A and B are shown apart, each in its own frame.
Chain A
Amino acid sequence: MKKSALFAAICVPAFLAAAPLAAKTLVYCSEGSPENFYPGVNTTGTSFDASEQIYNRIVEFERGGTKVNPSLAEKWDVSADGTVYTFHLRKNVKWHSNKNFKPTRNMNADDIVFMFERQWKEDNPYFKVTSPNHSYFSDMGMPKLLKSVEKVDDSTVRVTLNQPEAPFLANLAMMWASVQSKEYADAMLKAGTPEKIDQEPIGTGPFSLVQYQKDAIIRYKAFPEYWAGKAKLDDLVFSITPDASVRWAKLQKGECHVMPYPNPADLEAMKKDTNVQILEQPGLNIGYLAYQTTKKPFDDVRVRKAFNMAMNKKAIVDAVFLGSGVPAKNPIPPSMWSYNDSVKEDEYNPDAAKKLLAEAGYPNGLETDLWAMPVQRPYNPNARRIAELMQADLAKIGVKAEIKSFEWGEYRKRAQAGEHQMAQLGWTGDNGDPDNFLHTLLGCASAQSASGSNIAKWCYKPFDDLVTKAKVTTDQAERTKLYEQAQVIFKEQAPWFTVAHAVQLKPVRKEVVDFKLSPFGRHTFYGVDLKGK
């Protein structure tokens, strides 16, 4: 009885009570809970954002860009043949501490070696901790690429590769290569709780983790001994808010300062709000329709070309992206180096398309399938709607396309196995290197593998030679030339109908100073400040 009286008392409406004044606290309304704090096994932006504040990598992308900067390594030498990288580590880099563990030493070569071996060597006691599936490490080809990783002395690490790999440094700047403390790992292993290093993380980054409550809050504190200088913010809070409309309500009220993934429907109201600005940046992504080039009728380049001419790209992008996307003509986004702007877009011309289709032996049109992803992705807000528009356009040249969809996991698996004739998919860049699009999505190696990302199954030697050569060439000017040529071939051969590059939109309150959009979609709060505090 007493208890219910207490509850009754506290459930009646109450009025505003004074909140305590805090130091500079920035609140970010994140969209979900991280899986854990070990980026080596994560694949979602949500998890990467949570870890991004805590850890450093050997090298890192500049804030707001794709340029690779020194981080834990102050400098590095590359052997003439491009296979040996010697990293000279920064000295006096301190680790955070928490209630379980107080570090006794600074960051050193052991930690770097541990980062590699945890993901690489199956006999490492940490290989299976949290998850044995080190997705990005495998995806970036590390198991085959790495020959050895050795500690030369406390502040020098030598990495030897089996063959030269131009994007290697950019790959090391990715989240999977975040460096954890070997000393902490050893201590937790000894205590019988190895998984703790991924749940109560210790890093060298600008913010240390104070508290994490699933589905509620992640609380960070600026690390005063951060090697690059203490952050301008004192506290950083991720207020986990899954619903986009609620995030917007919180931003309006000032309950948070930055929100990701706005509802396109709220954008108008956001633009009118004087307390809010919308930051905008073309994303490093591409949404496309892939033709299964090993199957009839798409093994014939004339059919693919005809299809490309039959679909009205501009109308599709206008109708579906609502101003948050630009039509794509190349497989890489315009903001990426080596983007070839001189490539000529296939013009929208149903009559010419019909003619070309007749030439290819289909004067009466043909029947095919058209797969639409069941989910919304950053590069494609509504695959179903796009499929319907494509279907209508194709009907005009006598093509009957049947729209199909599967559960998302199933969809990817079947598309990777090449079960489709036409399937929509897309890609968000990992490391800012054209190789990550052109070789990963369109190379022969990826077409031949059952789990490869080349769902057009397009293996065209002149193209593959160019991108494979660019992969092992270290001179960027030369690589640019190779990639520019590759884009010309891509357009001629038309393995995809390139749809759009989505634009990243980020509503931010006006008191936030110097928040930079990351081309990779990360949210980084080091360097950000709050006005008037």
Chain B
Amino acid sequence: MLRFILTRVSLVIPTFIGITLLAFFLIRLVPGDPIETLAGERGIDPARHEQLRKEYGFDKPVLVQYGIYLGRVLQGDLGKSMITQEPVLSEFSALFPATIELALCAILFALLIGLPAGILAAIRRNSIFDHGVMGISLTGYSMPIFWWGLILILVFSVQLDLTPVSGRIDVLYYIEPVTGFLLIDTLLSDEEGAFWSAVKHLILPTIVLGTVPLAVIARMTRSAMLEVLGEDYIRTAKAKGLSRFRVVALHALRNALIPVVTVIGLQIGVLFTGAILTETIFSWPGVGKWLIDAIFRRDYPVLQGGALLLGVVVMGVNLLVDLTYGLINPRIRHNR
């Protein structure tokens, strides 16, 4: 087990360098000068422009800049945002909890509906229910997120008045961030009703962000289940006279889960980084929106640091997923 973890972690190093390289050079390939952007519409006089280039180190050759950057990163210094002058790490840690909160809710939503739907569809193969689930999941998978979000807002918020339009909590509540997770912070605070307000604000974004993973999980579960249900050991279990529930829940599902867990792992990565549209529609103050703004403003330190931090998180999640396989299926425990 330990050896497996060590091997995996050592693989992280080249990936880590790869991310820094990509983040560093890709943004420099995009046309646009960060100092011009910083100066805004008005432009900047050439002397001051030159002075700022020097101060930010942009006058040095790109490779030298990269070396300096990498050196700082290894010392834990991700730099400061060129726009706000706040350290990248502190901006990230202020915004990331919002992204995690939403991503976790979305993946839970996807699991709670996707798994049972996939299982049932597999058991009742070719039934109306099966076709229904597959049809809906295909629709969900191909749904344009922006359109889907706006439709939900128009129907549930504006017409039916069931949910708030956007944001994380009603503006009337004043919650001082402690953990950054609003569901926890509202419980810690003594503001009555704040928790429910936070929950209500989560509903629509959770559905919008969870739609694609839900569709993927449902389809994946169904096909994995179908494969397993045809195996000999299932026939044996049935022949032993086990109840249908035991056959499906214990014997089939456990084996079918392996590919599903892989997909979930990959989807979590997608959720962290792919929440950009959802965050924009629902004015959700997470890292997706932050990175998009950084691209438009050519805020190099934020982009580089943000991509790096997100990369590390995604790598961590994938490592966890790999470890989970062993729990589900003893045949692939890693200490063998």
Binding site for B on A (CB under 8 A): 4, 7-8, 10-11, 13-20, 22, 25, 27, 32-33, 35-36, 42-44, 130-133, 135-136, 138-139, 195, 198-199, 210-211, 213-217, 219, 237, 239-243, 245-246, 249-250, 252-253, 255, 406-410, 412-413, 416, 449-451, 453
A474 to B12, CA, bound (A): 69
Which of B19-27, B31-39, B216-224, B227-235 participates in binding chain A?
A: B31-39
CB-nearest residue of chain B to A377: B41
A242 cross-chain contacts in B, Cβ below 8 A: 280, 283, 289
Which B residues fall within an 8 A CB radius of A?
A: 30-33, 36-46, 48, 51-52, 55, 83-86, 91, 94-95, 98, 104-105, 108-109, 112, 150, 153-154, 157-158, 161, 164-168, 170-174, 176-177, 183, 191-193, 195-197, 199-200, 202-203, 206, 280-286, 289-290, 293, 298
List the A side residues contacting B298 at CB < 8 Å.
Answer: 409
A255 — which chain B residues lie within 8 A by C-beta? 164-167, 171
In whole Å, how far is A390's beta carbon from the nearest beta carbon of chain B? Answer: 23
- CB of A7 within 8 A of CB of B95, answer no
| CB < 8 Å neighbour of A14 from B32, B94, B108, B196 | B196
Find the A residue at minimum CB distance from B51: A132
Distance A18 CA – B172 CA, assembled complex (angstroms)? 11
Assess A135 versus B166: contact at CB under 8 Å? Given A8-B112, A25-B171, A214-B94: no
Given contacts A11-B108, A216-B168, contact A20 B191 (CB under 8 A): yes
Please determine whether A253 and B157 come into contact, CB atoms closer than 8 angstroms: yes
B85 engages A408 (CB within 8 Å): no
Asked if B167 and A131 make an inter-chain contact with CB atoms under 8 angstroms apart, the answer reads no
CA distance A4 to B111 in the complex (A): 11
Docked Cα-Cα span, A38 to B102, in Å, equals 32
Q: Are A215 and B172 in contact (CB under 8 A)?
A: no
Minimum CB–CB distance for B159 against chain A, Å: 10
In the bound assembly, the distance between CA atoms of A43 and B39 in angstroms comes to: 7
Please name the residue on chain A nearest to B288 by beta carbon: A215
Given A213-B285, A237-B171, A255-B164, the answer on whether A11 and B157 have CB atoms closer than 8 Å is no
Our pick among A4, A8, A219, A252 for the contact of B174 (Cβ within 8 Å) is A219
Q: A11-B105, A14-B199 are in contact. Are A19 and B172 (CB under 8 A)?
A: yes
Task: Report the bound CA distance from A232 to B106 in whole Å.
Answer: 42
Distance of A253 Cα from B161 Cα, bound (Å)? 8
In the bound assembly, the distance between CA atoms of A216 and B287 in angstroms comes to 12
Beyond A15-B196, A215-B290, 16 additional contacts (C-beta under 8 Å) are A14-B199, A19-B193, A20-B173, A36-B84, A43-B41, A43-B42, A131-B38, A138-B48, A215-B95, A216-B167, A217-B167, A237-B171, A239-B283, A255-B166, A407-B32, A451-B46
Give Cα distance in the complex from A524 to B245, angstroms.
65
Pick the residue among B157, B183, B193 that contacts A18 (CB under 8 A): B193
Q: In the complex, which residues of chain A have a beta carbon less than 8 angstroms from the beta carbon of B154?
A: 249
Q: Is the CB of B86 within 8 A of A199?
A: yes
User: Given the interface contacts A7-B108, A239-B167, A242-B283, does A133 sit within 8 Å of B38 by beta carbon?
Assistant: yes
B150 touches A245 (CB 8 A): yes
Task: Give 30 A-B contacts (CB < 8 Å), ordered by A residue.
Answer: A8-B108, A11-B108, A11-B203, A13-B203, A14-B200, A17-B193, A18-B193, A19-B197, A25-B172, A33-B293, A35-B83, A35-B84, A43-B40, A133-B48, A136-B42, A213-B94, A215-B95, A216-B283, A217-B167, A242-B289, A246-B153, A246-B165, A253-B158, A255-B167, A409-B32, A409-B36, A409-B37, A410-B31, A410-B33, A451-B44
CB <8 Å contact, B40 and A239 = no
CA distance A253 to B172 in the complex (A): 15
B224 shortest CB reach to chain A, Å: 21
Chain B positions within 8 Å of A15 at CB level: 196
Neighbouring A residues of B158 by C-beta, 8 Å: 249, 252-253
Rounded to whole Å, the gap between the CB of B257 and the closest CB of chain A is: 15
Q: Look across to chain A and name the residue whose beta carbon is closest to the beta carbon of B170.
A: A19
A17 CA to B194 CA, complexed, in Å: 9
Could you tell me if B283 and A10 are in contact, using CB atoms closer than 8 angstroms?
Answer: no
Q: Looking at the complex, which one of B30, B42, B283 makes contact with A246 (CB distance below 8 Å)?
A: B283
Given contacts A253-B158, A409-B32, contact A20 B42 (CB under 8 A): no
Nearest-Cβ distance from residue A265 to partner chain B, whole angstroms: 12
Docked Cα-Cα span, A1 to B167, in Å, equals: 28
Interface pairs A-B: 3 shortest CB-CB:
A43-B40, A215-B285, A17-B196
Q: Which residues of A sit under 8 angstroms from B195, Cβ to Cβ?
A: 10
Q: How far is the CA of A14 from the CA of B105 in the complex (A)?
A: 14
- Given known pairs A216-B167, A242-B280, the reply for A451 and B31 (CB within 8 Å) is no
Candidates A132, A133, A215; contact of B283 at CB < 8 Å: A215
Q: Evaluate whether A10 and B202 lie within 8 angstroms (CB atoms) in the complex, with A215-B289, A249-B154, A416-B43 already known.
A: yes
- Chain B residue contacts of A252, Cβ below 8 A: 158
Asked if residues B32 and A239 are in contact (CB atoms below 8 Å), the reply is: no
Whole-angstrom distance between the alpha carbons of A42 and B42 in the complex?
A: 10
Q: How far is the CB of A144 from chain B (nearest CB, A)?
A: 12
**A415–B93 alpha-carbon span in the complex (Å):** 40
Measured CB to CB, the nearest residue on chain A to B180 is A213
Q: Please, how many angstroms separate the alpha-carbon atoms of A451 and B44 in the complex? A: 7
Please determine whether B183 and A10 come into contact, CB atoms closer than 8 angstroms: yes
A43 to B43, CA, bound (A): 10
A318 CB to closest chain B CB (Å) equals 27
Write out the residue numbers on chain B whose beta carbons fall within 8 Å of the beta carbon of A16. 200
**Residue contact A243 to B283, C-beta cutoff 8 Å:** yes
A241 to chain B, nearest CB (A): 4
Which residue in chain B gives the minimum CB-CB distance to A9?
B199
B85 CB contact (under 8 Å) in A130, A135, A413: A130
Q: How far, in whole Å, are A406 and B36 apart by their CA atoms in the complex?
A: 14
Q: Contacts of A8 on B, CB cut-off 8 Å?
A: 108, 112
**Which B-chain residue is minimally distant from A138 (CB atoms)?**
B45
Residues of B contacting A412 in the complex (Cβ-Cβ under 8 angstroms): 36, 41, 43
